[in-house]
Amino acid sequence: MFLDYNKVYYLSLFEDGNRIAGAGFLRLSQMGKRLCLEGQIRCDKPFDGVFSVTITIEGYQEEAGKVRLQKGRGQFKLLTEGKLSDLLTEEKVSTSQAVEKISTSPPGDTFVISMRINSKYMIGTGIVPDVKCCERKPVPKRTEEFAWEELKKRFEIVYPFGDERAYVTVGLKDLHLFKEGESKLSHNSFLLHGYYNYRHLIVGKDRKAGNQSQLCHYLGVPGVFYEKEKMAAVMFGFEAFECNGPVTIGKYGYYLRQIEILE
């Protein structure tokens, strides 16, 4: 059985190796030489925290990324570029042929996407096979700087202020990538107002307002500069305004709020 791209796989909640309930779904697709895992986790257990997602295929295992859960709920979009991706996208070999070389058994046996919650619970497409003797890819330390570099690979890079400062454009569906998460940001009225007017947000690395020697990451909401608009922005946590050139009344730019990128 081949590993199908653009296919939905259903996730299950396992307790001590036994399936006890459904836990959401994921879609596996290919983006160039990268594998994309995108989906939603919903289970009745109140799991909270950041958990690693791993892919296991034919005795090889690597980490695809991390997912934040709040009360057993979470959305994710992960891209992986390790050895596994190279095997599945090998040059001069069709996708189906490359996959056939690796996996000829049902997904539950040799192909597993999993997320270990603790020693008792796991969420995934099946039980992870024994990989004690597998070759493992060293996982780089996921610092905030590493997370920023990953964002630049995943999203379109823009230069909204007419200088060298690089930002990426994101949407509401991408708010789970930040530590405040959807629970706060997706209910921020000022953010929603700007997003639905201009249909995008920006995220970038910039010098901290009030401390030019320190770098941090900002979330930007598009809008036009007015004093009343600035007052509303501050009330909702957006402490700065930037635009291309000097700030003047009626000029288009971005209201900025400092954020932490999910590690």
Binned at pLDDT 50, 70 and 90, residue 107 comes out as very low
User: Contact at 8 Å (CB) between 207 and 164?
Assistant: no
177 touches 76 (CB < 8 A): no
Bigger pLDDT: 139 vs 112: 112
Whether pTM exceeds 0.75: no
DSSP 120-147: SEEEESSPPPP-TTS-BPPPPP--HHHH
**Separation CA 252–CA 142 (nearest Å):** 35
Residue 212 confidence (pLDDT): 65
pLDDT at 106 over 60: no
Q: Quick one: pLDDT at residue 32?
A: 57
> So what's the pLDDT on residue 232?
94
Amino acid at 87: L
Please say whether the beta carbons of 77 and 29 come within 8 A. no
Greater model confidence, 208 or 88? 208
* Across 13-17, 35-39, 150-154, 218-222, least confident range: 35-39
Q: What is the pLDDT of residue 82?
A: 54
Structural domain spans, the chain = 7-124, 144-259
Q: Which two tokens stand for residue 149?
A: 């570099």
pLDDT at 244: 94
The CA distances from residue 58 to 35, 107, 133, in Å, are 17, 10, 12
pLDDT class of 111 with cuts at 50, 70, 90: low
| Tens-place pLDDT, residues 231-258 | 999 999 999 999 999 999 999 999 999 8
Select 7-124's CATH number: 2.60.120, 2.20.25, 2.170.240, 2.60.40: 2.60.40
> Quick one: which of 188, 189, 154 has its CA closest to 77?
154
Give the C-alpha separation, 119 to 97, whole Å: 36
Between 8 and 83, the higher pLDDT residue:
8
Higher-pLDDT residue of 100 and 8 is: 8
Work out the end-to-end distance of the chain between its first and last CA atoms, rounded to an integer number of angstroms. Answer: 35
Tokens of residue 260, six digits: 């932490």
In this prediction, residue 211 carries a pLDDT of 66
Q: Residue 229: which residues within 8 A CB-CB, separation 6 or more?
A: 223, 255
* Residue 6 pLDDT greater than 90, yes or no: no
Above 70 in pLDDT, residue 130? no
Q: Please compute the mean of the pLDDT values over residues 145-161 and round it to a whole number.
A: 87
Percent of the chain's residues with pLDDT above 70: 72
Distance CA 100, CA 94 (A): 10
H-state helical runs in the chain: 83-88, 95-102, 107-110, 144-154, 181-185, 189-198, 227-235
Higher pLDDT pick, 122 / 103: 122
From the list 79, 80, 50, 29, the residue with the least C-alpha distance to 261 is 50
**3-state SS string for 72-119:** CEEEEEEEECCHHHHHHCCCCCCHHHHHHHHCCCCHHHHEEEEEECCC
- CB neighbours (10 Å) of residue 194? 24
Residues facing 73 on adjacent strands = 42, 70
